[in-house]
Chain A
Amino acid sequence: MNWHGLKAIYLHEMDRMRRTLFQSLVSPFISTSLYFVVFGSAIGSRITEIEGISYGSFIVPGMIMLTVLTQSISNASFGIFFPKFTNTVYELLAAPLSTFEIILGFVGAAATKSLIIGTVIILTAGIFVDLHIEHPFIMMFFLVLTCVTFSLFGFLIGIWADNFEKLQVIPILVITPLVFLGGSFYSINMLPEFWQKISLLNPVLYLVSGFRWSFYEIADVSILTSLITILFFLSACVLTIIYAFSKGYKIKN
């Protein structure tokens, strides 16, 4: 194991966040606040409570999921795309680093960033609503696994993308709609039966539901299903990466 190399990549990536610290931390703070103003106050004044939880509190887990998912993907995909784009990737390829170490460094840093952002959102939400977390360990477990899984997914996108459009197409066209339609801001029980069935095809629903359960013990699907879903995603990403690299897929051709 090239520990110094791994550390160098990790800190180098974290440094990018430090340089844009303001942007990195202030934007989730502001968007969280906006969600509370728009959804919490405007809509919340009409929806007062869902399953005994105030609407403002109800949307917190979904909001965290929305941000953590998109941030993980964009951080990790951009992190590896950037050196390809600037051609500084030569250094990673020439250094005595295994593919595993490179992935660990980039994905580890992206997941860390998302985790920090998730924490900022929880703290911000605490300002607006009364937060209580019923199962903090399960909550952390979900949060960490989601950060890691979607950072891995983002890394794959970053490797695959050879231009900026490709880099953004999956997050914008696939992930964001799935999260919005995955019950982040509502309970699917509020939908007509047909749309409830359709919603169950959305994998993100299971993550949001499980995550919300760790806060309030209310869920659209059972917690076990949610746990299996996130573990399934994680394994799928790991296997895809192993498969891609074993088939000779290169960080850069």
Chain B
Amino acid sequence: MSEILKISNVSKVYNNKFQALNKLSLKIKKGEIFALLGPNGAGKSTLINTVCGILNFDEGSITVDELDIKTQYRKARSLIGIVPQELNLEAFETIWDNVNYSRGLYGKPPNHSYIEKLLKELSLWEKKDNKLRELSGGMKRRVLIAKALSHEPKVLFLDEPTASVDVELRKDMWEVVKRLKQEGVTIILTTHYIEEAEEIADRVGIINNGRIILVDEKESLIKKLGQKILKIELAETIDKIPSNLGIFNLEINSDKNILTYIYDTKGENTGITSLLSEIKALGMQLKDISTEQSSLESIFLNLVKESENELARS
């Protein structure tokens, strides 16, 4: 797959001298859904706003579909749509006028049937003549999505699209995202909800302190870095964990019949074989064995902690 977005060594220093992006590099593949994960203040919005031309940057280069966003900004920007993090909209305009206005700004001739389809898909059609200030937060988010898609972009940025939105909108939004993916649109979303990334992303990038700490396929990230949980269900209950098993740091459930063992799949020696032999030697009968993948959440927290330690050391 070719790359649609290339960010190379980009640094951004705000007016107050705060360095929000630090020689950041990232490549996004055409047609993928990329989740940018990071704690508050990591630089997610700064990165997105820089790529979209809302903020200017100090060094490095950014290209969209091989078009430099500084020197070929017209072509480059017309490929991009952005749903900003904040719900900022005009007050007195109608949804219909405002969405058509956005399309115009991006240099596209009017296309009322397309905008109609878009508004219907986002459940905005019935409210198209409502004034923007009359809308609830969720509705405003929908309007922002419609505006971002009004000019049929090839790359869509969603900055924390699900922050404080209802279940309904989440569902509608993922429907739209899936449709867009099928049409070949590249989607980059930021979130600090891990489940979201886990649910829809193809790849995940983790950002902290203005640097990308890690980028990987979601699946392999979970596999590679995740700890796994081994659950051992016993045929008979036990009063307490036998002292012979002490080195394994096992935990037991309240029904006293399931032992859990946490191991690192990356490690040379998972300890599973010795644990099982130990159990066999003790003469315990096993009913069932299962393993579980740990979530992105724990991976994320570990990585962020590591990068902060690193920063503290340097």
**B-binding residues in A (CB < 8 A):** 2-5, 7-9, 11-12, 15-16, 19, 83, 86-88, 90-98, 250, 253
Contacts and interface: CB of A to CB of B under 8 A. Distances in A.
B114 interface: no
Interface string B86-100: 101111110001000
Given A8-B101, A12-B101, A90-B54, A96 B88 contact: no
A91 B82 CA distance: 9
B54 A94 contact: yes
B52 A94 contact: yes
Contact of A88 (B90, B97, B109): B90
Contact of A8 (B77, B90, B93, B104): B104
Contacts of B86: 87
B211 interface: no
Nearest to A86: B88
Nearest to A87: B88
B105 A9 contact: yes
Nearest to B15: A253
Interface string B123-135: 0000000000000
B74 interface: yes
Contacts of B107: 2-5, 95-96
Interface residues of B, number: 33
Interface string B14-26: 0100000000000
Contacts of A94: 52-54, 77, 80, 82
A22 to B, nearest CB: 14
A15 B97 contact: yes
B105 A5 contact: yes
Contacts of A95: 77, 105-107
A81 to B, nearest CB: 13
A15 B93 contact: yes
B102 A91 contact: yes
21 contacts: A2-B74, A5-B104, A5-B105, A5-B107, A11-B101, A86-B88, A86-B89, A87-B86, A88-B89, A88-B90, A90-B49, A90-B88, A91-B102, A92-B105, A93-B53, A94-B53, A96-B73, A96-B77, A96-B106, A97-B105, A98-B74
A2 B75 CA distance: 11
A2 B97 CA distance: 19
A250 B56 contact: yes
A86 B77 contact: no
B120 interface: no
Nearest to B97: A15
B106 A5 contact: yes
Contacts of B88: 86-88, 90
B108 interface: yes
Contacts of B54: 90, 93-94
Contacts of B101: 8, 11-12
Nearest to B56: A250
B260 interface: no
Given A86-B91, A94-B53, A95-B106, 7 more contacts: A4-B105, A5-B107, A87-B88, A90-B54, A90-B84, A94-B54, A95-B77
Nearest to A19: B92
A38 B196 CA distance: 68
Given A90-B54, A91-B147, A253-B15, A96 B78 contact: yes
Contacts of A250: 56
Nearest to A10: B104
Q: Which 10 A-B pairs have the closest CB atoms?
A: A8-B104, A87-B88, A95-B105, A96-B77, A96-B74, A2-B107, A94-B52, A96-B78, A93-B54, A4-B107
